[in-house]
Structure 1
Amino acid sequence: MTDTFQWLNEPPFWQGDAGSLSLVTGDKTDFWRETFYGFIRDSGHAWLTPVSGDFSATVTIRGDYQALYDQAGMMLRIDETHWIKTGIEFTDGLMHFSVVVTRGVSDWSVIPLHSASTETAVFVRLTRHADAVRVQFHLGDGRWQMARLCPFPADDAIVGVTACSPERKGFSARFEDISVGPPIARKLHDG
């Protein structure tokens, strides 16, 4: 599977494969489109593989979060104006589970993770069912929490992992067990 992944904005340092990948970010890297800040950034690092149809992608992430907006997670991308990034983003001195959905312009939602530290492994799952994408996470307890359910084009795309450091260079992130496969069941609620 690793040979189908390619870099969008290769970082200055990286090593590994889908089993275990580590990277260090370049200076002032990010993905964002217009909303609130007025700028467009498409310089973040992303290691991506082609997908079509329905799928689920998962990864376990860790990062040395220190500076404002340090981030590591997953990306689903059709082009520079249609993409989703999700994972951990460091803001207000705290790790947050973050989802940015971009369909021409970006939006941003966050869930504060008060009990998380840089030692915390965060498990992320992104699932596409036709023109809907479900984003889920957990902090090692195995209970997936939904962070977002959003409309998104069912077009062929690329999916994988991403890391950015909008305020600095040198953020280090680690990704383990990167997998892309059949989608989980459409059922949203237990019981």
Structure 2
Amino acid sequence: MAHDQVMVAGLPEAARGDGKCWLASPDGGVSAVAGPATDLYLDPTGDAAALNAPQLLFSAPGDFQLSARVTVDFQATYDAGGLIVWADERRWAKLCFEFSPDDEPMIVSVVTRGTSDDANSIVLDGRTTWLRVCRLGPAYAFHTSTDGRRWSLIRVFTLGDDDLPTQVGFLAQSPTGGGCEVAFDDVRFRPERLADLRSGD
């Protein structure tokens, strides 16, 4: 698959993704349209793996904080937009704003080390929220926020290898639907360690 560079305001370098899916927006953000039956999930029950969700990735060595406001045009169950940490097809993690089977927008996180560990979190109103991923040495942390200022911790994890090179970025998915449009704006990147995981900052 050919990958194109996409300039997103606030990032330290151009991100790379499938140019058919990702489009830089005039306000400095980026949007994507995930096609039908797109997902990123290695089912722990042994069902078929899905690794075709559109991703837009860039390199971020060392400690960092990446956040964005995410708006999802929810249409079908599991439609989602989110942030992702990617090492390879067997080691990655995603923090998603996802449409639940009960037709509720929900924060969902998946950590994959061979197979995927899927965890549902809080239910939200509306189609917009803020997501953040931070790296702290060998560990990563996922947070969410309703205003982009005060943050709630969702989970802390590793991908199982302290020295594993990773990329970070954005994804969109529509596992059961006919496609899903996702927009990211207010993108912020800070190449520094988060001081306190649980302070709300």
User: What is the TM-score normalised by the length of structure 1?
Assistant: 0.88
Matched, 1:146 2:140: no
Counterpart contact for 2:22–2:56, Cα < 8 Å: no
Matched, 1:173 2:175: no
> Residue 64 of structure 2: which of 55, 65, 73 is its match?
55
> Residue 6 of structure 1: which of 16, 23, 37 is its match?
16
Q: Which has the higher strand share?
A: 1
2-side partners of 1:190 and 1:147: how far apart? 13
Counterpart contact for 1:76–1:157, Cα < 8 Å: yes
Compare 178-187 and 19-28 and name the one that shifted more.
Answer: 178-187
One-letter code of the match for 2:33?
Answer: V
Matched, 1:15 2:45: no
| Pairwise CA RMSD | 2.1
One-letter code of the match for 1:101?
Answer: V
Residue aligned with 1:29, SS: coil
User: What is the TM-score normalised by the length of structure 2?
Assistant: 0.84
1:94 equivalent in structure 2: 104
- 1:29-68 superposed matches below 5 A: 29-36=38-45, 38-68=47-77
What is the CA distance between 1:37 and its match in structure 2? 5.7
Deviations 1:47-75 (A, max 9, x none): 11012121111111001112010010101
What is the CA distance between 1:12 and its match in structure 2? 4.1
Which consecutive residues of structure 2, in runs of 5 or more, have no partner in the other structure? Answer: 1-5, 8-12
2-side partners of 1:11 and 1:110: how far apart? 31
2-side partners of 1:95 and 1:129: how far apart? 28
Deviations 1:116-175 (A, max 9, x none): 112xx3111101111111100111162200000112334221111100000123311100
Q: 1:22 to 1:189 in 2, by over 3 A?
A: closer
Residue aligned with 1:106, SS: strand
2:3 equivalent in structure 1: none
2-side partners of 1:13 and 1:151: how far apart? 29
2:166 equivalent in structure 1: 157
Which consecutive residues of structure 1, in runs of 5 or more, have no partner in the other structure? Answer: none
2:140 equivalent in structure 1: 133
2-side partners of 1:13 and 1:78: how far apart? 21
Counterpart contact for 1:11–1:24, Cα < 8 Å: no
